[in-house]
Structure 1
Amino acid sequence: MAPLVWLITGCSSGFGNQFVYNILARGDKVVATARDLSKIQQLKQLGVSTFQLDITDSQSSINATIAKVLAEHGRIDVLINNAAYIAIGTWEDLSYEDWLAQFDTNVFGTIKVTKAILPHFRERKTGTMVFISSLSGWIGHAGCSAYAGSKFALEGIVEGLHAETAHLGLKTLLIEPGRFRTKLLSSGNMIARTSDIPDYAEKSRAQMEGLVGEDQKQPGDPAKLVEIVLDLVREEGVAQGIEVPFRLPLGFDCYTDVKEKCEATLATLETWRNVATSTDMET
């Protein structure tokens, strides 16, 4: 296989940074981006192209950045939509602006980057789009509604994108990590609103303490997840000779929780089957 050109958002830490090293190890080329270019400048020493890219910028600004990447490299083969952060707090404690900011990055920023690259993929009739979702795209946990809402939204729009573009020869992968040892829970990537409302305060403080204590102690190994994603894109390793799934939960916790929710949903459908199917108009 000829070397692929990968463009990755959010490369200053976490999965984004890990992708850079694993992709280089496979002999491919990397275009690393970050909101703060100074945080990824050291990657240039590895032969990585670096670009400043804030996915909350305007569509025209993002389009211009993608045009510069294409001018330098001639093509993009794989897009990794990774940039995201997490807002923690109850519905009542998160401001409207907190909700807007959460969706602006995790949903609308991802849409804008993908829209900027889609015409290139469509023209070439080839290209792979990888979206890093979350267990929170399946389950809305208490105090995590804004983040879960953004990931639920991402799951729906990406599923629609997959249906729209598969016939063009484009591939779409939706990756759903559980708890991995990235910096998602660090102060730079987590916005936390501890509640002073008596009905929430005790649980809110306990949750904040738990999240701080879990930071850098999560069970998942980011390098192992990234290797699986590379296999899926390149159809090597664990993906060699088998059909690559559109959606894949990764992490023992994610597998367990998703399986439990699917089984509970199937049980509800069976129990309420007669009611659920009784709503058609009488003929």
Structure 2
Amino acid sequence: MPQLTWLVTGCSSGLGQTFIHGILSRGDKAIATARGDISRIAALEESGAKIYSLDVRASAADIKKTMSRIISENGEIDVLINNAGYIEAAIAEEASIDSYLDQFDINFFGVIKVTQAILPHFRERKSGSIVFLGSSGGISREPGAGPYCATKHALEEWYECLKQETAHLNIKPMIFELGFFRTNIMHPDNVKFRTKYEIADYDDIRNLVSQFVQGMNQNQPGDPKKAVEIVLDVVKGEGIAEGKAVPERLPLGADCLTTMRKEAVANLAMCNEWDGVILSTNVDFGVTVTISSV
């Protein structure tokens, strides 16, 4: 396959850095971005990547300006990996509105702004791949992670719309559902606990969530390097993905696979048990229904 140029957001740590090293190891070109001072990702430049400051929280106009600069200085971009993100952990009722707004600003609206900024380039070329990183939390629910799960579920549906809208342009969005992988995302400095107040009724759940986050940090079962290699294979259609059709969504990690299967089985069981009730809402044949305004 010809050499590709990849643009990755959120490269100051974790999966972002792993993606850059994996891309470079395959002989492809990598563009690493991070918010703020790019000295934080200087090591990636030393490894061979181009580096830029790109804050997904910036305005759509500023992000488009940065994207135009990146394209003009690097030529064609083949793949965008929307990697930037973090976790807001809080009980749904206790979470401050600011925590919801901040979580959506990065995990959802940031993804939209960066994707919209690169789409004109992909449309002009009639080519391009867009990688979204979903989560088991976007498929099912995790107590104590309402803001995070909400953003990931929203991303699922936005991806589905984009995929249908861009198919005729040979633009290929794809989403990978990640379980728990051993990065620093669960580090106490990265998981945000922000509440407007604490409600005694939730003390036990809140304590369990806190214990879970602390216990999971650096004990996640997934190997990020293995996940990254699979993503790169799927995007390039080589290695484990050679000759295979790209799936609608691909879970990565045994925990995420279990979650997806459990959700699918539960939904199917509900549909089978309640199908008569569900279908009973159809308009009866031969009956005219008049809807009047009040």
Give TM-score, length-normalised by structure 1.
0.98
Q: CA deviation at 1:246?
A: 2.5
Q: In the alignment, is residue 23 of structure 1 matched against residue 23 of structure 2?
A: yes
User: Could you list the per-position Cα deviations for residues 57-77 of structure 1 after superposition, in whole angstroms to 9, with x for gaps in the alignment?
Assistant: 001110111111111111110
Q: In the alignment, is residue 240 of structure 1 matched against residue 242 of structure 2?
A: yes
Q: Which residue of 2 aligns with 1:154?
A: 155
State the secondary structure of the residue aligned to 2:174: strand
Percent pairwise identity: 47
Aligned partner letter, 1:133: G
Q: Which residue of 1 aligns with 2:257?
A: 255
Q: How many residues align?
A: 283
Aligned partner letter, 1:64: K
Q: In the alignment, is residue 142 of structure 1 matched against residue 143 of structure 2?
A: yes
Q: Is the 8 A contact 1:172 1:246 kept in 2?
A: no
**RMSD (Å), alpha carbons:** 1.1
- Please identify, of 29-38 and 121-130, the stretch whose mean Cα deviation from structure 2 is larger: 29-38
Runs of 4+ in 1 over 4 A off after TM superposition: none
Q: CA deviation at 1:184?
A: 1.2
State the secondary structure of the residue aligned to 1:51: strand
Aligned partner letter, 2:180: R
Q: Is the 8 A contact 1:56 1:109 kept in 2?
A: yes
Aligned partner letter, 2:23: I
Q: CA deviation at 1:183?
A: 1.2
In structure 2, distance between residues paired with 1:280 and 1:209: 48
Q: Structure 1: give runs of 5+ residues left out of the alignment.
A: none
Q: Which residue of 2 aligns with 1:33?
A: 33
- Please identify, of 24-33 and 41-50, the stretch whose mean Cα deviation from structure 2 is larger: 41-50
State the secondary structure of the residue aligned to 1:83: coil
Q: Is the 8 A contact 1:88 1:147 kept in 2?
A: yes
Counterpart mapping for 1:263-274 below 5 A: 263-274=265-276
In structure 1, distance between residues paired with 2:24 and 2:144: 38
In structure 2, distance between residues paired with 1:52 and 1:71: 15
Q: Which residue of 2 aligns with 1:212?
A: 214
Q: Which residue of 1 aligns with 2:169?
A: 168
Q: CA deviation at 1:193?
A: 3.5
Quick one: which of 276, 279, 282 aligns to 2:278? 276
Q: Is the 8 A contact 1:85 1:190 kept in 2?
A: yes
Q: CA deviation at 1:188?
A: 3.5
Q: CA deviation at 1:281?
A: 1.0
Q: CA deviation at 1:197?
A: 1.6
Give TM-score, length-normalised by structure 2.
0.94
Q: CA deviation at 1:203?
A: 2.1
Counterpart mapping for 1:54-93 below 5 A: 54-93=55-94
In structure 2, distance between residues paired with 1:113 and 1:191: 23
State the secondary structure of the residue aligned to 1:256: helix
Aligned partner letter, 1:245: P
State the secondary structure of the residue aligned to 1:263: helix
Q: CA deviation at 1:187?
A: 3.1
User: Could you list the per-position Cα deviations for residues 164-193 of structure 1 after superposition, in whole angstroms to 9, with x for gaps in the alignment?
Assistant: 001111111101000111111113421014
Q: CA deviation at 1:202?
A: 2.3
In structure 1, distance between residues paired with 2:153 and 2:215: 26
Q: Which residue of 2 aligns with 1:226?
A: 228
State the secondary structure of the residue aligned to 2:271: helix
Aligned partner letter, 2:22: N
State the secondary structure of the residue aligned to 2:73: helix
Larger radius of gyration: 2
Aligned partner letter, 1:227: E
